[in-house]
Amino acid sequence: MASSVSMAVPEVVPYDFGRHLTRHDFPTGFLFGGATSAYQVEGAYNVGGRGMTNWDAWSLMKPGKVLDGGNGCRAIDHYHNIKEDVKLMKDMGIETYRFSISWTRILPGGQLSTGVNKEGVKFYNDMIDLLIEAGIEPVATIFHFDTPRSLQDEYKGFLDRRIVHDFGNYAEVCFREFGDRVKFWVTVNEPSTYTVLGYVNGTFPPGHGSPPSELGLRFVNYRNVRGIDPTLYGGNAATEPYIVAHHLILCHAKAVDIYRKKFQAVQGGKIGIVVVPNSWYFPYSEKKEDKEAAVRAVEFLLGWFVQPLVSGEYPDSMQTRVKERLPKFTEKERMKVKGSYDYIGLNYYTTIYAAYKKKQPGDPTNYYTDQEVEFHTSKNGIPIGPQAGSDWLYIVPRGIYELLTYAKRQYNDPIIYITENGVDEKNKQQLGPDKTESEGKKDKVLPISLLLKDDYRIKYHQQHLAYVKRAIDKDKVNVKGYAVWSIFDNYEWAAGYTVRFGMYFVDYLNGLTRYPKKSVFWYMNFLNKKKLPGPRDREMMEVEEVEEEEKAGKRKQNRTKSTQELWEIFAINDVLSSKLKLHDDPKRVRVQLKMKIEAENKTPKPRMSSCMIKVASTLVYVNMRAPTCQHSPLKQECGGRGVDQIFM
């Protein structure tokens, strides 16, 4: 029976909604973390015995299918910077790190018969060990869009049932090699994204599908990107997406069956699937047909992959509309699929409107027309929410609450982990042409310091977390964790490097250096286990934070952070500290600062370690010597003033 979808109009969220939340406002044992995926961050595409993937071939051979022509061959070189990156995660205070394992780094030929790559196994073993040593729980995704090129060439990948056998062998290698330390497994990430973009819209490899005019889309939906090459490479949008989805579900069930029979009792881990990329749906109007359209949109996105895991069958709406084109599970398959999860991972980014659109005689048959739904991002000229960097991402915090409560009602109150939630901005590091240059037209590279103030990202997470808390407290939704997307800026598939989702800014123009955005300090502060919860904590705030009023253009002073918190933030900021080594040794200033602190310490204050004094004095020195230094992101935090003016 179909569950209802909320008719609530997207409410206007107060600016400070969720602003004062901390980790203490969430249940004991609730896990906070961050996420990435192999192709988006690892790089090293031809290093360490790794085989070719579908995305290697796609981005290298068809660069027009990526907005900036970019590829993940280097990405952010997580492969060679894993020690430093884990250190940054530890400094943030995150408790989980969700990463994906590259299928072809483990099995370069995609199949067990081609051999296991020991160097690839060592890379992930080393990373897992580093994470555990840092106190971070590894969460391993077995498949995140990167199909082995060899399997795509041999039998068309997920269009062929043979993929189930090969996926099972690959998953078993992962369980055997890493399962003694990995206690959270994800079989498949966002199977609907892989299916719809690869076999309906044609914007992901292998580029099968139908042109937009036949799909009947009114706007760029489902992580589509405006401006990329619209060329399609065959396929059938009426049948292929359902076949691919069916095989993905069977791959998931195969992996779960292997894990439960051979490994789970000994290793003691949990296994699930990650579903629902991007969207929740609000009915476009109060009309019955629009409400029903919103329900169908949810069932064709979320129910497509979750309902079989709960009941062993596809949603009734899909069976009724897709009919014989929808593959059927055998009784043996149904028994393996049903109940094949310990938890459900939900990814949420945005919400859009869904309206009824009747299929007319002569309309083509495909995944979208099967739904009889038309999607909108605005109503009466008013956007559903503020638009972020991507064309498809509108900020609607209420959607995550509706998604969570729906999942509880519809799917027997499962354990839920929010495995991705995040927002992006346009990549403004390099803009051009700059017509003010006297030499002529040149690309304009903005200073790093101007690109690190991401208050909108902080606000995004605060408001979404407030709705998560509401779902837990009010509706008793069994949510156990929350992961930001993403810890680092990365390669964003068809959008390439044109948008940034990370809390750490990655300097693509200068050695992939990581810089903390303002959101890093917020998340660090949010996760501070020593920070007192509730009103008492807010009463203890002692230090002024200078904020800029956007409308009035004036500065106002708010007491928002304790001295201890600020010293800790800068003391553990390894990235900033390493950048400051570019300057002269500030020992003289350090000694003077220490004497000044001790002299002025007339009342009890948090004691600073030598490390804190060293970093703080270095910051003072650099701000005095180089007030416009781009290596000092602190300047924007301090409103352009020297650090000594803020703290002394």
Confidence band for 207, pLDDT divided at 50, 70 and 90: very high
Confidence band for 3, pLDDT divided at 50, 70 and 90: low
Which residue, among 45, 43, 28, has the nearest Cα to 80 in the 3D structure?
A: 43
Residues, the chain, total? Answer: 648
542 part of the active site: no
Q: With pLDDT > 90 as the criterion, what percentage of the chain qualifies? A: 70
Task: Please write down the HEC assignment for all residues of 353-371.
Answer: EEEECCCCCCCCCCHHHHH
Average pLDDT, the chain: 83
Most confident of 59-73, 549-563, 581-595: 59-73
Distance CA 375, CA 353 (A): 6
pLDDT at position 555 over 50? no
Cα dihedral across residues 403, 404, 410, 411: positive or negative: positive
- Residue in 420, 492, 568, 637 annotated catalytic: 420
pLDDT in tens, 318-343: 999 999 999 999 999 999 999 999 99
pLDDT in tens, 92-143: 999 999 999 999 999 999 999 999 999 999 999 999 999 999 999 999 999 9
Q: Are residues 145 and 92 in contact, defined by beta-carbon separation less than 8 angstroms?
A: no
State the pairing for strand pair 442-445/504-507: unpaired
H or E element: which one contains 390? none
The pLDDT, as a whole number, for residue 542 is: 25
190 part of the active site: yes
H or E element: which one contains 350? strand 350-356
Query: Which tokens belong to 89?
Result: 């995660």
Cα dihedral across residues 551, 556, 562, 566: positive or negative: positive
pLDDT in tens, 449-475: 889 999 999 999 999 999 999 999 999
Tell me the mean pLDDT in the region 75-82. Answer: 98
The pLDDT, as a whole number, for residue 4 is: 65
pLDDT at position 11 over 70? no
- Residue in 190, 240, 333, 425 annotated catalytic: 190
182-196, 208-222, 398-412, 421-435: the lowest-pLDDT one: 208-222
The pLDDT, as a whole number, for residue 529 is: 77
Domains of the chain: 23-206+239-279+339-349+394-522 (3.20.20.80), 563-647 (no CATH)
Confidence band for 606, pLDDT divided at 50, 70 and 90: very low
Confidence band for 285, pLDDT divided at 50, 70 and 90: very high
pLDDT at position 163 over 50? yes
